[in-house]
Amino acid sequence: MKTDGRMISGMTRLVVFSAMISGLPAATLSLTAVSDTSLYEISPDFNLGGTTLLAGTNQKVSRSRALFRFDLSSLPAGAVVTGVEVLLYCTRQPDPDQHTGPVASDFSLHRMRVSWGEGGGVNATGSVATAGDATWNERHYLGTSWGTPGGSGGIDYAGNPSATTSVGNVGLYGWGSSTELIDDVHSWLADPLSNFGFILVSGGESSPGSARRFASSEQSSTLAPAPQLIVTYIPEPSAGALAMMSLTGLCLFRRRVSYR
C-alpha cells in the first residue's frame, strides 16, 4: 500500500486501514510560515527578510525567488498525513502601463536541500545584508554561497517541483495537494533537521513582467495572509481503539470470506 510514493510501515498501514473501516475523521492543521525571505538578482548582497516576498522577473529583467519554511512540531506524533496544500497571496503584479506589462507564468515550489538565513531587510529591494542573511549570492551572507547565485536546482533545492500553479492577477493561490508535497512533509517529520522549507521559482524567468509580490509573515494582513501550509491528517488512534478497530476489520474480513 502506498500513500506518498513510498511503501509505508505495517503500523501506518494498520492505522490507515482501521481509519477506513471505522470512519475515523481526518483533522486539518493550518500553519503560518515561521521564516521567509527573497533573493533579488538586481541587489545581490541585499536581504529582503522583512518585506513582501518576491518571485519572477521584473521589467528590468532582474530575477527573484522566494523562500519560506514552516514549523511542523505541532503536528501530533504518529499522525498519517493524507493531504498538503500551500497557500500564497499575490499582493502585486507589474504595472500594465510599463514596458511589457504583467505576464502570467507557472510558479513552482521546490523542496530546499540546504539552510538559509531569513534576515530582516526592508524596503522594496531590501537592505544591505548582515552576517548569516540570505542574499542572491549567498545563503548565509559572509559565510556560505549558493551552488550558483540565486540557488541551484539539484544542489540547493530539488530539481523537480513539488507543486506548480499559474499566477496572474492579485489574489490567493494554492499549490497541491500532491504526492510530492505529502512526501516533503513526511520527510520533514521523519527528520526535522532537514526541514529547510521551499523555494518559489517562476517558470517564466525569461519573461520580463512575470514578477509577483506575495504577502510575507511580516507584511501580512487580514486581506493578504502570510504563507500557509494546510496539512490534512489522520490522528493516530489509542492502543485500545486501534485494537478494537483491527478486530472489527478482522470480523468484516471473515464475514466476507464466509459469504463466498
Q: Summarize pLDDT for 176-200 with one digit per residue, the tens.
A: 999 999 999 999 999 999 999 999 9
In angstroms, the CA 108 to CA 97 distance is 27
At residue 9, does pLDDT exceed 50? no
Residue 8: strand, helix, or coil:
coil
At residue 146, does pLDDT exceed 50? yes
pLDDT over 90, % of the chain: 73
Torsion, Cα of 186, 192, 198, 199 (10° steps): -140
Please, which residues bridge with residue 8 across strands? none
The sign one gets for the Cα dihedral 11, 17, 21, 25 is positive
Please, which residues bridge with residue 174 across strands? 87
Average pLDDT over residues 2-31: 55
Give the per-residue pLDDT at 15.
46
Chain segment 201-230, per-residue pLDDT in tens? 999 999 999 999 999 999 999 889 999 999
Chain segment 68-89, per-residue pLDDT in tens? 999 999 999 888 999 999 999 9
Give the per-residue pLDDT at 17.
47
Give the per-residue pLDDT at 78.
86
When the pLDDT of each residue in the chain is averaged and rounded to a whole number, the result is: 86
In angstroms, the CA 203 to CA 225 distance is 24
* Distances 59 to 55, 56, 134, 254 between C-alpha atoms, Å: 13, 10, 23, 67
In angstroms, the CA 200 to CA 89 distance is 13
More confident residue, 242 or 101: 101
Q: What angle do CA 250, 260, 22 make, to 5 degrees?
A: 30
Give the per-residue pLDDT at 255.
53
Give the per-residue pLDDT at 22.
46
At residue 91, does pLDDT exceed 80? yes
The DSSP annotation for 217-229 comes to: SSS--SSSPPPEE
At residue 166, does pLDDT exceed 90? yes
Give the per-residue pLDDT at 112.
98
Lowest mean pLDDT among 103-117, 139-153, 229-243: 229-243
Grid cell in block for residue 189 = 517529520
Question: CA-based diameter of the chain, in Å?
Answer: 74
Determine the straight-line distance between the first and last CA of the chain, rounded to whole angstroms. 25
pTM of this prediction?
0.83
Give the per-residue pLDDT at 6.
35
Give the per-residue pLDDT at 60.
85
Report whether 105 contacts 54 (CB < 8 A): no
At residue 134, does pLDDT exceed 60? yes
pLDDT over 70, % of the chain: 80
More confident residue, 25 or 216: 216
* Distances 30 to 33, 60, 144, 233 between C-alpha atoms, Å: 10, 37, 32, 11
In angstroms, the CA 59 to CA 221 distance is 27
